Each structure stands twice: as C-alpha cells, then as structure tokens.
Amino acid sequence: MEKEFDVVVVGAFGVDTYVFLSDSEFDVSVEGQFSENVDSVGLAGGYSSIAFARMGLKTAVIGYVGDDHNGRFIRETLDAHGIITRGLQIDPYGTKRSINFIFPDGRRKSFYDGKGSMYTIPELDFASSIISRSSLAHVNIVNWARFLLPSIRKQGLTLSCDLQDIIDPDDPYRRDFANSADILFFSSVNKDDPAPIIRKYLSEHPNVIVVSGMGNRGCSVGIGKNVTRFPAVDFGEPVVDTTGAGDSLAAGFLCSWLFQGHSIEDSILRGQIAARYACSTKANSSGLITMQELNHVFDSIRGLSL
C-alpha cells in the first residue's frame, strides 16, 4: 500500500524561549539585566518535524498542544511548512514550554515545562490511523509516546528514537524506547566516550544502528560489533545556538540513508552537516537546512576530500 507520509514524528511540541546572554556568566545578585529574548517553535518534536519537512519529506505529527495562543502558533507554523497537523491533539494543561539560556559560544542550559506529558494517555486507534500511513516513525521520549511503540512495531514501520542526553544506558524511563527502536540516536556531548554505551545497546539489540552526536568532537556510530568515530564537520559559520542540532543530525541521517540510498558514511556526513548548520541559526527552527543547501555543502566537502 502506498504511504501518504514519509515520516510521522511522535513527540513533544512546544514553544522555546531563548535568552541570549552577552557574557558566559550572569550576576544573580542583579535583579534586572538586558538580553535578546526570542520565541520559536521548539522541543524535539518541533525541531525534528520541521527538519524533515525542510529536507523535502512528507511529514505528519502526533503530539499535544494547548488550546491557547502558543498551541495555535505551533499549528500555524507547522502548517506553513506543509506538515500534516491533524495528529496534534489538545493538552488540557496547556502548551509545553522551554526556557533556553544561550551562552556566547552557543552552549545552552534548558528548563522544561512538560505540562500534561506525564498524565496523557494517547487514543490508540486515532494514533494508529496516522501511523499506518507512514513509512518511518521518529519518536521522542515524551512519556505518553511509549504507549504507541507496540502499534508502530505491529504496523511494520522503521522506528527511530532519540534518547536525548544519556547518562545511564539502563535508565528505566528510556528502556521501552531503546528496546523498540531500529535506529537509536543519543547525545554524548557531556560524556568523554560514548563507545561503552553504544556497545551496551548493541549487545542487547545486535541489529540496531546507534548514532551518538558528540558536538564539536564529531559523531560515533555503532553497527553490529563495530563502533566507528567520525570527525566533526565545520564549514566556517560561527556557532551561535546548539538547539536543534541533535534533531537535525537525526533528520539528515534518516533522510539520506532511508529515503535517498546514501551509504552509512555519507548519511552520517550529511546528518552532521545538517546539525552544524543548525548551530549557525539563532533561535530559528524554521531556518533549518533545506535539501538544496544540504546537497551543496555535501558536494563541496566531498569534492575537497577527493
């Protein structure tokens, strides 16, 4: 059966407020300080769905937003990108929020308000009617999404999952997601070497592909019994905001490998290009890399390496 969508993003949608700091530290003893403050559609679901759409994939979403100004802002923004939003349902607690303090070197410290995420029980038949129309399900680790994992597996979709920042691979909250995925993504920006975590996942699930973003140290990929490290990509643009880099890495890799037939190595490079591009855009999920831009940078880098 021909699929209506290429990918359905299952996860958290909200509004990110970015506070761009002028210094690497701020004086908490001073009541009032000046900064640049910007709102944008965000959280993992917002960034990853827009990233897929910007790369040309037919994208649908399943998630929850409030019946409020921010919820309408999210719907309108996703609609403008051609994303199918009929899977966005109402969270009676309101729309999720994130406050991101962005330091001058692009690092961020985030504070999340998940609203009703821990209390939501998804309507399985409704969600399944959307899932069945897609080839790929990209799942964030918002709590209610775990209830949809059996349906995704039953309907035969490729299931990718972003586990976010991993400290403990045995974390019980992430266990359902790690056990269900065909492709796992996680961040190891705060860990010196992701190889032990990658090997842990591979030992439990030998057929899974594990991709770990390492920020300016590159990327590590586990397939079978092998863990390969790839150097970071840099094409000269300054790092101003690292928000959305991991979502762009995943979208770039999945789009290239699953839908365009690139090799694993080239797909990782293309994912890293997308991630690095995201770091050069300031509080702007709608300004993520397009397929034309991705192809241009990829061809330039590949040409230099020949």
Domain boundaries, the chain: 5-24+36-305
Q: What is the pLDDT of residues 245-302, one digit of tens each?
A: 999 999 999 999 999 999 999 999 999 999 999 999 887 788 899 999 999 999 999 8
In terms of Cβ atoms closer than 10 Å to its own Cβ (0-12, 13-18, 19+), residue 170 is: exposed
Average pLDDT over residues 42-64: 97
In this predicted model, what pLDDT tens digit does every residue of 104-157 receive, in sequence order?
Answer: 887 888 899 999 999 999 999 999 999 999 999 999 999 999 999 999 999 999
Q: Select from 3.40.1190.20, 3.40.1030.10, 1.10.760.10, 3.20.20.140 the CATH code of 5-24+36-305.
A: 3.40.1190.20
What CA–CA distance (Å, rounded) separates 16 from 285? Answer: 10
Cβ neighbours of residue 260 under 8 Å, at least 6 residues apart? none
By percentage, how much of the chain surpasses pLDDT 70? 97
pLDDT at position 305, please? 59
The closest of 9, 246, 13 to 148, measured between CA atoms, is 9
Backbone angles phi, psi at 301, to 5 degrees: -70, -45
